[in-house]
A = this chain, B = another copy of it.
């Protein structure tokens, strides 16, 4: 049995959509409310965010330090330390999005990229997936933030990030998982498949 599965051997856990309705369509958040058939034949409602998907980039400078952002996150009411990230445009490939977001938010472009994996950050109420990329061979350039976007670029060593996480002063989920991947890759336990950046991006 696989840890994650959509297969029929999990029929005793599966829920089936009976009816689906868009109940809120904001400028950013889209909420759906579905009526589902439960495994025991009963019914329940499931509310969730429909999200376009996102990417995160772990950018490694030539001296081994990592490039991060300090950004005010309104729902949190404070500035958070994060690896660069952003939402997919409609129809956009994840790698293209990663290269675009890194350039727009930090001004850096990278010669080599690796796709590490995906994380699902709010499985109870959002279909969001964040594709995790690593970037190295970085070259500084000019950033071009979106209107209404304000963020500082900072650099930290892996040891500094590890200490922040242990002390509870770096709490963003995707960034903690970036740290997990980074340290597993550095220790040779998890592999990354590095590829040259496409010239066209």
A residues adjacent to B (C-beta < 8 A) = 1-6, 10, 12-15, 23-24, 26-29, 31, 33-34, 36, 38-40, 42, 44-49, 70-82, 117-129, 147-148, 150-152, 162, 164-166, 168-174, 176-177, 179-180, 184, 189-191
Contact A166:B180 (CB < 8 A) given known A10-B72, A13-B151, A121-B173 = no
B49, A13: Cβ atoms closer than 8 Å: no
Give bound CA distance, A42 to B79, whole Å: 19
Give bound CA distance, A171 to B116, whole Å: 12
Give bound CA distance, A119 to B125, whole Å: 16
Extra contacts, 14 of them, besides A13-B70, A49-B75, A122-B126 (Cβ < 8 A), are: A3-B81, A6-B79, A26-B47, A29-B125, A36-B74, A39-B72, A48-B75, A49-B125, A73-B124, A75-B124, A75-B127, A120-B171, A122-B173, A166-B190
* Number of copies of chain A assembled together: 2
B27, A24: Cβ atoms closer than 8 Å: no
A169, B23: Cβ atoms closer than 8 Å: no
Give bound CA distance, A28 to B177, whole Å: 27
Enumerate 7 A-B pairs (CB-CB under 8 Å) in ascending A order.
A13-B79, A15-B72, A29-B31, A29-B48, A49-B125, A75-B127, A165-B180
Report chain B residues within 8 Å CB of A34: 74
Give bound CA distance, A26 to B26, whole Å: 15
Report chain B residues within 8 Å CB of A78: 4-6
